A and B are shown apart, each in its own frame.
Chain A
Amino acid sequence: MVANDDVNIVVGRGTVHAIVGENGAGKSTLMKILYGMQRPDEGTISIDAKPVSFTSPGDAIQAGVGMMHQHFMLADNFTVLENVVLGSEPTHGVGGVLDFGAARRRIKEISDTYGLNVEPDVLVEELGVGDRQRVEILKVLYRGAKILILDEPTAVLVPQEVDELFDNLRELKGEGLTVLFISHKLDEVLEVADEITVIRRGTTVATVEPDQVTARQLAELMVGSELPTPETRESTVTDEEVLTVDAVSVRSADGRVLLADIAFTIHRGEVLGIAGVEGNGQAELVEAMVGMRPLAGGTIFLGAQDVTHWPTRRRREAGIAYIPGDRQRHALLLDAPLWENRILGHQTEDPNANGPWIDRAGARKDTARIVSQYDVRTPGIDVLASSLSGGNQQKLIVGREMSGDPKVLIAAHPTRGVDVGAQAAIWDHIRDARRAGLAVLLISADLDELIGLSDSLKVILRGRFVADVDPAHVTPEDLGAAMTGAGEVREA
């Protein structure tokens, strides 16, 4: 169905075809070309043996290609129905009066056919992540898509929701639709895909069937070399308290309790992991720790110092490093070159500042160091941050935050959207820093990452810690159950 000069992919109707590759390997570019957001320089795309040429997403939709983006594009204050019809509103002939009746019937019909179980009249803000994703799928199907492109759809889901999504995908496949599935999570790819294409540096290197390969072989195909073996677990936890949080609570502007009675201590050389379904207070916890959100009560101590009322900059200067969960919004100036992004968050620190002045030379030199040490794939430090792929942006951020010997690292999803090779490298950097005495607060949706990196684990649910878990003895399934509040977890 699809052909391209360097990239050759043939996708059969009624199959789930996965595309895997490292950050910057060209997956996103390929998807943009398939969806008409970018024109190919050479090569052709054919659907049902007919060559097609897209100049805009509109053309792609016409041809039956639908794209589901990594980030949900839904208006919270609209109902499911309104969100689905948005942009292609049905009207009653003259006058442009909206015909919601017909739309509602079609949504019902699609929902029933593919087992999506979507209620048209619910407000989107009342829906959970998994439901929202089904709304996104429905939106694409409503526009008549026969080929669905899913860009990292599982990044925000817990294991149970991933299973539901995969059931939906199988349903779609059963009805003769074609699914292109992009993911970094190789075991998921192996579970759901009928065929897997591996892309490396802009070219297809292999197309394999899931029962012929292991996740490890797949990963090695992606990076083109053997993977580093995971380090053996050794405890570096000391008894020196670095970050002590007691009875912290946070309320929203309208008085809703977002965090209640949060208490923990992180020691030198310790990684404390926080597990939880997104939206249960993790973001608020992180923002409270770095001083972006006022506390309703409680204290935060950095070493022996009470930093509860310190502003963000003072906390950062005192040695709190911060890897935000949303890199585009909180960690980068997308329109600025890499070296200016090196300065961000460390405006007052060496090597970026010299009294009231910005030390351009120092910042540039250190940016070059980060680029080489953290394997940021970029032609130089003068390119804009927006031109790097997500994983390379993340590597730059991690490198920046690990600079200047921080005492505490607040890391939210440090490897989200990062390929396996880079993920292993980032984990190594965190482990090295931990061995050197770094205290880490780790928030992640990746349960393997949480279990693999943490010395201790807490589960957060509706703004409260509901369980302590021993990462050495917990399975992702048990942890996932505890996160949804469904099952009992063995207390550590």
Chain B
Amino acid sequence: MTRRLDPRRAAIAVAAPALAIAFSLLVTALVLVSTGDPIVSTLEQVWAYGKQPRVIALSINQGVTYYLSALAVAIGFRMNLFNIGVDGQYRLAAFAAAVVGSSFELPKPLHLFVIILVAMLVGAMWAGIAAVLKVTRGVSEVISTIMLNAIATALIAFMLREVKVDVAGSNNIGTKPIGPSGAFPSIPLIPESPLNVYGFIVVAVLAGVAYTVVLGRTRFGFDLRATGRSESAAVASGVDVKRMVLISMLLSGAVAGLVGMPQLLGGDSRSYSLDFPAGLGFTGIAIALLGRNNAIGMAVSALLFSFLDASSIILDINDISKEIVLIMQGTIVLSVVIAYELVRRYSVVADQRRVSRELAEDPPAPREEVNA
């Protein structure tokens, strides 16, 4: 059942991200030198701050949202669809879920179920617009999802004014808070941490497992991957590509709908306010690239990114610009894309060589068998 584990191939797969991270450390060090900041002590500070239980819990929470965002992007990537619209999809979904969820009370599991369902449906619907445009009019999903992001921003701002309530103790506005039955239970996962971990981590893990199983083990997943690898070959094999575009975009949007849920249902305010986190969809693209659309790879990448984010706060306190972390993340993504491509080319050539070498050493079966 399992794929033959090829240690050489596994080493190659890990080499690329490792090289990229090493390279980005080098670039970060150069930037630090140029700004006259000490390299070693800066990294030490980040590490010391980052390994506190509270910061670890914070990293994990941030990682959960990053991971869901990366999953949403990866579903598209596996089919060669560039869903840049995860950002607009999750924000609109979270807003709609907040409005719907605060409008009634239900027993806890049911209430949560309805809220999450609304979020997934709205996310799918928003992505579905791009899918329909692509399928019927051939509009590139890159363009349409970018536009839909902008439209989502304006739409939310407009609708928020219609339903707004003032957020206590600030001049912020937001939706009416969801009742206590809509709170997703949190888990005291990290010992000695005053901060609990989002219970939504369970949903994220399940989503990752479902992603792996559906793509790797089902006919649907095979069709999807085949379309991503070669659309022309998929068509010839009987895949209805338009249908696949529609379904995978809807799925991607539905998962995008989950991205805002840990914050909305696991946070303290349980409302969508002006300061609801934005831009997670773009982080998701970076993480999907770094994690190579692999469920585990993306989990590791999401945690790396969220750890860097959470621990960068110490830099500001010590008068070092925390944007250094953004430089580091950017360099990682940029160099990992290049590294993967180099590794891919290398392994294709290496594979070809290996095949011809093994064939030369190992003569094929005698001809009589062939023509028998």
| Residues in A lying within 8 Å of B, measured CB to CB | 24, 26, 29, 38, 201-202, 223, 225, 228, 290-292, 311-317, 322, 324, 329-336, 340, 343-348, 353, 356-358, 360-361, 372, 374-375, 377-380, 382-384, 386-388, 421, 424-425, 428
Contacts and interface: CB of A to CB of B under 8 A. Distances in A.
Nearest to A428: B371
A473 to B, nearest CB: 28
The 5 closest A-B pairs by CB, nearest first: A313-B238, A345-B237, A379-B358, A387-B351, A330-B236
B365 A372 contact: yes
A114 to B, nearest CB: 35
Contacts of A202: 356, 360
B235 A292 contact: yes
Contact of B233 (A330, A358, A384): A330
B236 A347 contact: no
A306 B23 CA distance: 61
Contacts of A324: 236
A223 B217 contact: no
B219 A334 contact: no
A333 B239 CA distance: 13
Contacts of A316: 237-238
A382 B6 contact: yes
A353 B219 contact: yes
B238 A29 contact: no
B370 A358 contact: no
A333 B226 contact: yes
Contacts of A201: 359-360, 363
A228 B4 CA distance: 37
Contacts of B230: 329, 332-334
Given A38-B349, A358-B221, A322 B236 contact: yes
A386 B351 CA distance: 9
A228 B371 CA distance: 8
Nearest to B238: A313
Interface in B313-372: 348-349, 351-352, 354-356, 358-360, 362-365, 367, 369-371
Interface string B222-253: 11011001101101111110000000000000
A291 B241 CA distance: 13
Nearest to A327: B233
A388 B356 CA distance: 8
Contacts of A335: 229
Contacts of B367: 223, 225, 421
A331 B349 contact: no
Nearest to A345: B237
A358 B236 contact: no
Interface of B is mostly: helix
A314 B240 CA distance: 11
A196 B164 CA distance: 84
Given A24-B356, A202-B360, A330-B236, A383 B351 contact: yes
Contact of A379 (B217, B354, B365, B369): B354
B3 interface: yes
B104 interface: no
B45 interface: no
A167 B187 CA distance: 81
A228 B367 CA distance: 10
B125 to A, nearest CB: 25
A374 B229 CA distance: 25
Given A228-B371, A330-B232, 10 more contacts: A201-B359, A290-B236, A311-B238, A313-B239, A330-B236, A345-B237, A377-B364, A383-B351, A384-B348, A387-B354
Contacts of B233: 329-333, 344
A382 B359 CA distance: 15
A358 B218 contact: yes
A357 B355 CA distance: 31
A383 B355 contact: yes
A6 to B, nearest CB: 9
Contact of A333 (B229, B356, B369): B229
A346 to B, nearest CB: 8
B1 interface: yes
A484 to B, nearest CB: 29
Contacts of A340: 222
Contacts of B235: 292, 312, 330
Nearest to B2: A360
User: Which of A38, A223, A358 counts the most chain B CB atoms within 10 A?
Assistant: A358
A361 B358 contact: no
A313 B219 CA distance: 13
